[in-house]
Structure 1
Amino acid sequence: MTAVLEIEGLRKTYRSRRRGVRHALDGFDMLVEAGQVHGFLGPNGSGKTTTLRTLLGLIRPNDGRMAILGREVPAALPEVAGSVGAIVESPQFFPNFTAQDTLSLLAGAGGVPQTRVTEVLELVGLRDRSGERVKSYSLGMKQRLAVASALLKNPRLLILDEPANGLDPGGIREMRALMRDLAGSGMTVVLSSHILGEVQLICDSVTIISRGRRVAAGPVSEVLAQHAGHALRVRLDAAADLPAAAEALRQAGAEVTAEADHLMVYGVEQSSWVSRTLANRDLYVSELAPVTADLESVFLDLTATAPVPGQARQVDDSALVGGGEQATPESGGAPGGWGV
């Protein structure tokens, strides 16, 4: 396949009196092939938004190579800008403009035919509400309008930062279908999201970033296979026997995590070994089932953000609603779109 987006050894360092030297990006690599929906994942503060803003020429890197559609950026951004649609963080719209007026204005500024405005409003499900003022829109509707603005140029590469933010389950499903349809038409989509279940459903491949470095990349199925250990869920006839069963399996060489009503057993090649080991101790299995890894568990493990058992975990509110990294004075510039 042809690489649409290439990043090699990207570095970005910030300095401030309060925080000293901070490496937002520390030799980050990323490769996105044509026609894919590619998930770009990382915890808040991991470097996702810094990467996207650097790629689009909004931040100057300290080192590294970047290319879009085979052209080196930021030097070639004026040449490739017409083939790239992007929404990075939350774009701001004139509140008293209607969606129709907003997109018409953007289309005119970008030399896009006005007929395209109707097409993108239809694509994102806003055609029937296009005459209403943006200030009356819900957060989810504003997200749809943002995606519509990025689609105006019918780009070859579409970069979306948290496009499902504020959408209800029905809206998320519609957004998922839209992303798949766009990829099916030949467009390449880079999707940054905290909704990992959706990423697993929609994306062909992923890149996971943590503390400015790539920690995993490749097709979703391969990332799951490479980074998720083989696990078995074990239940016993008598729940009171769980502590004894856990100890027996650990003594026999397995890694065991005790849950409220079952055991999670790792590092076992044959599931029958578990039942035989426990039966030899007069402990009898009522359920023995392989546990399929999901992207969320792999992500939490790779980025060291999994909650510690018995310890409360502090969670950024933006992560709960799918929000991206927050703009700071160091990141440069206010939140906004990069569509037309």
Structure 2
Amino acid sequence: MRILALEPYYGGSHKAFLDGWSALSRHDWTVLTLPPYKWKWRMRHAAVTFAQEVHEHLSEKTRWDLLFCSDMLNLAEFRGLVRRDVRELPSVVYFHENQLTYPVRVECERDYQFAMTNLTSALAADAVWFNSAFHRDEFLAALDAFLKRMPDHQPAGATERIRAKTSVHPPGVVPMPARRGRQPGPLRILWAARWEHDKNPEEFFRALGILRRRGVAFRISVVGEQFRETPEVFAQARRDFTDCIDRWGYQESRADYEVALSEADVFVSTARHEFFGLCAVEAALAGAVPLLPTRLAYPEVFGLGQSEDAGRFFYDGGPETLAKRLAEMARFLADGQSLTDRAEGLRNRLRRFEWPNLAGVLDAALEEAGPAPSSSV
């Protein structure tokens, strides 16, 4: 099939998703993108910009079989602005995130117009894909509650119409290089996430403080994307743990990022918000043992309750419990045992997310969403 893909925010996980899939896909992709800058403005203007680009820069003879876009596009607006043959294409919208449950510090800061954009895009699409069942269920529940708050003209049955065309299609990851022998030293702990409050860095650093007071030796790498406003806890933590820091801050290249993953004994998440957990999957495939909270998409993605060994990769509670689990791993490592070997079964299960294994699965799903063979142009 010939796919027209539109990505208003071509960066981070959105870019990795399109690049990873299209590189191995059996379909022919035309990908139109905008730089990852000022996401609110991207959601406001991308439909107009992409419609103009289709009209001005793509030949009238160019034909596609399916339109694919992310949740950052107002699909309804785009279809209303673009030429007829594009407007009538079967369409799939992929929700990496959504603007109803994406965390804000104060709820009054949430701009519900962006939530309405998600709603109209989902209604306009022929198929609505989510990166996890957790994400799908959370969005639909929040959407239903949101629509009930409308003073009048509530769109009757909108949530159920969207639910009927949803499906779950997780994103893929690039295969990780084979891990080399571990360098001597204490437990190496990796925290890798956006430096924002929804990733709950305070809990991570409190756990480290508990470990230090108990005399447990460790090294840390704290990496991830940073923005203009960064929680103060990072500056304080850098001062508190300066003697045990291996890596600190955003890793400028993919190679540096992969090295950070390959050096870690354990990957820790303290997130209060996560729709899938790409970094956790990548770290586990790179050889680190994941230590994850029993919430969000993590139980689904890492098979909690589905595999006998899955429970060892989760913790309940707050920093005390997290510190206890990290101390256990430190003792295990000090006894000369291999943490990497403990996660071999998990890595084998997670390989289903590697692009060479996943691209064909997503290709087949697109074919199901596309036009019947007789109607393909």
TM-score, normalised relative to structure 2: 0.24
Structure having greater relative contact order (Cα 8 Å, sep ≥ 6): 1
